[in-house]
Amino acid sequence: MPAPGPHRGLFDLWSLFYDAPWVQRLTYRPGQDAVVAALRAAPPRRVLDVGCGTGQLAARLRRELPETGVVGCDFSGGMLARARARDRGIAWVQADAQRLPFAAGCFGAVVSTEAFHWFPSQEEALAEFYRVLAPGGRLLVALVNPPLEWLSDASRLGSSLVGEPFRWPTRRAMRRMVEGAGFHVEAQQRILRLPAPFSFPTVLTHAVRGRGPAPAHPATPSAVG
């Protein structure tokens, strides 16, 4: 039985406020800046943004990396409606991160900013990221990494009690998960954002897909592109 996850309606509602300048500036823009800088150094042929929300990062990647094909993926119809209105030149796909409807090895990079903590099974999502990446492809995942394991556990318990479970892994746990999925972790970059003294740090994990076969996946999704 799949692990319980957040309700889609929460994100459909959140899409109404997601693009507010103060929300973007305080929560999302710092991680997106770091992802863009990392990809600009060696632009991939094709990039997948998982948990793309209203398409802020995907649209920016299309503008700043004109030779890169961009695909945005989210499970919220409300988020994707705003994404499509933002940029109709991007392929927007409604799908679960744990069952990506893409062919194996079809992306040169997979990125995810401030969304990974919502995935009910982060291990299954990482297995899918590995599957859809070409050998040597890059993975960039930015999310809050609490400094201590008990803080990670407390956030998981508290969010579950209010019916919207999420999981913020520590930096060490994130590295362990990513490497367990077959990736080589190159760096874990702390992202400064406001109000930094009053929040857990956001960390961007940089990783590269191994050359071996993709880890076993519990289901075989239909292949698109």
Q: Lowest mean pLDDT of 99-108, 193-202, 214-223, name the range.
A: 214-223
Would you put residue 151 in left (φ > 0), alpha (ψ -120 to 50) or beta? alpha
The answer as to CATH 3.40.50.150 being correct for domain 8-209 is yes
Instruction: Read off the pLDDT band of 207 (50, 70, 90).
Output: very high
Query: What is the tens place of the pLDDT at every residue in 70-81?
Result: 999 999 999 899
**4 in helix, strand or coil?**
coil
Tokens at 224, concatenated: 């698109």
Q: Lowest mean pLDDT of 20-24, 38-42, 157-161, name the range.
A: 20-24
Q: What are the beta bridge partners of residue 189? A: 204
Whole-model pTM: value is: 0.83
What's the rounded mean pLDDT across residues 50-65?
A: 95
What's the rounded mean pLDDT across residues 20-42?
A: 79
